[in-house]
Amino acid sequence: MTDPVRSISYGGGVQSTALLVLAAQGRIDFPLFVFANVGNDSERAATLRYVEEHAKPYAAQHGIELVEVQRIRRDGDTETLWGRLTRPGSRSLPIPVRMSNGAPGTRSCTADFKIKVVGKEMKRRGASKTNRATIGIGISVDEIHRANNRITEPHEQIVYPLLDLGLRRIDCQRIIREAGLPVPPKSSCFFCPFHRPETWHDMRRQEPEEFEKACQLEELLNKRRDELGKDHVYLTRFNRPLRDAIPDGVDLLPMFDESGGLCDSGWCMT
């Protein structure tokens, strides 16, 4: 039997980058970090740049293996989340779009493009039901509500190193800075419906191309729903198109933000 695999699910964000630094410092025992890239056409460009320009070189410098994996279909082709959403004739809605009442719909994006992809890599490395891999998730104390102890795959067990160390997001930022690394931007798909309104506003101002692509995706989804005679769906909770919900050039008041806009699994936005 091979030694059990110990890996961090690396998302390219603040918490999982802090875990990378802690591993480099020997404060946690995780020699492997796995970045499940949902697609170069799906992840925020700033996150992909951070992984390439900072995370991978830092990992290599400190003898940590940081591997990037993607979803591979049975025919051998790589599938991206954007590709699934925009495939001609597709009726798939794997992201938690907001329904007409503002509530998020069901989603399969995290399971299909994060959990299963990391799980497949763990099995490739020898993980099994009798030799389970330990997967560390980057949830900090201030987001403890996102943590759960469910085993997402039968050959894995989930742990939360930041919770064990009592670290908050602000602590993670400090750890990253003290290691000489820039603090990464929040990681996510650029079209994720869990974005807070303030995040959408910043994207419209700072990454207009990504904002425009998100608007076009929303329009495509609703064009298909028109053809099926179904209600429209949205990428925000405001029951109106993204272009109208997030006005250009208007500063948002702090109260405009919402507190619960995070994927609750911890596999995304870390």
Using one digit for the tens of pLDDT, what is the confidence trace for 135-147?
999 999 999 988 8
Residues of the chain with CATH 3.40.50.620: 6-188
Paired residues of 66 in beta bridges: 33
Once rounded to an integer, what is the mean pLDDT over residues 202-224?
Answer: 97
What is the distance between the alpha carbons of residues 81 and 97, in angstroms, rounded to a whole number?
A: 14
Q: Where are any strands of DSSP class E within 91-220?
A: 133-136, 156-159
CATH tag for 6-188 (out of 3.40.50.150, 2.60.40.150, 3.40.50.620, 3.40.50.300)? 3.40.50.620
Nearest to 269 by CA among 202, 208, 185: 185
CB 90 within 8 A of CB 223: no
The pTM of the full predicted model, rounded to 2 decimals, is 0.91
Residue 36 has, within 13 A of its CA and on its CB side, a CA count of 30
Q: Which amino acid is at 99?
A: M
Query: pLDDT at residue 264 above 70?
Result: no
Alpha-carbon distance 184 to 47, whole Å? 7
Percent over 70 (pLDDT), the chain: 91
The CA distance from 186 to 152, in Å, is 24
What is the tens place of the pLDDT at every residue in 158-173?
999 999 999 999 999 9
